[in-house]
Amino acid sequence: MSVSRFIAAAILATALILPHADAGEVAFSERRSGSTFMAPETQAMQSNDTANPGMLGVLDGATLWGKTIGAAEKSCASCHNDASTSMSGVAARYPAFDDTLKRPVDLEQRVNLCRVDHQRAPPLAYESRELLALTALIGRQSRGLPIAGGTDPRLTPFVDKGRATFMRRQGQLNLACTNCHDDNWYKRLAGSAITQAHPTGYPLYRLEWQGLGSLQRRLRNCMVGMRAQPYDADAPEMVELELYLMSRARGMPIETPAVRP
């Protein structure tokens, strides 16, 4: 049996035991990072920068940060100087409201907007090594700081839209995100722990992927497993879902680059 068919069969088996009525969101007092569900060995890998494979992406990002590119012949450092100071706390508040676009943009989109508007360079492809490296570098500067996603009042309607997507049943399996991550987070699926979907460490290094991946990649994986049509990378629905997840993780510390099984 192929991996995708195995995952679908496991989700379908779980769906049969899910409650018919949604139980609601995880209580504030019960919130847990995905790292708390991991084996001690994986937790140790994440906490040790010399063993954390995601740090290789951070190092790549530091190199790209100082590289001059585009028609404007600018680097990220040309405007933002040292990332360790200028980027502190930035990842903790994204997705953020963009005054020009009048909608939220996630960190990947912000990097590409800077490239196009200020460096006069082409945008980076989603899940490309370069984009993951730059967002890992930026995220690393917020490690340990509390997530502040969704605090801007202008984001409220977009948070509500993201929540509606999280709660809506979809796909051939007729599942909603909340069915696993709110109703059954204390159980296991195909041997893996069902976590609460708090995006505390993206981009993160997933042992299954053998590389860094964004929150959007993880969301698309879930949608495919539910036999639902994944949203495009730049779709408003995807950014709204990211925003909602960050808002419900508000106050939890950033772990980027996190490690997950």
Rounded distance between C-alpha atoms, residue 252 and residue 249, angstroms: 6
Name the superfamily (CATH) of residues 58-140.
Cytochrome c-like domain (1.10.760.10)
Rounded distance between C-alpha atoms, residue 221 and residue 123, angstroms: 24
pLDDT value for 23: 53
- What is the fold of 3-48+152-260? Cytochrome Bc1 Complex; Chain D, domain 2 (1.10.760)
Which pLDDT tens digits describe the chain residue by residue (261 residues)? Answer: 444 444 444 444 444 444 434 458 899 999 999 999 999 999 999 999 999 999 999 999 999 999 999 999 999 999 999 999 999 999 999 999 999 999 999 999 999 999 999 999 999 999 999 999 999 999 999 999 999 999 999 999 999 999 999 999 999 999 999 999 999 999 998 888 999 999 999 999 999 999 999 999 999 999 999 999 999 988 999 999 999 999 999 999 999 999 999
pLDDT value for 24: 80
Residue 44: left if φ>0, alpha if ψ -120 to 50, beta else—which one?
alpha
Burial of residue 250, with CB atoms counted within 10 A of its CB: 0-12 exposed, 13-18 middle, 19 or more buried: middle
pLDDT value for 4: 46
pLDDT value for 200: 98
pLDDT value for 181: 96
Global confidence as pTM: 0.90
- Evaluate the CA torsion angle 197, 200, 203, 209 in order and state its sign: negative
SS3 93: helix
Is 177 one of the annotated active-site residues of the chain? no
pLDDT value for 191: 86
pLDDT value for 143: 98
Q: Where do the CATH 1.10.760.10 domains begin and end in the chain?
A: 3-48+152-260, 58-140
pLDDT value for 190: 85
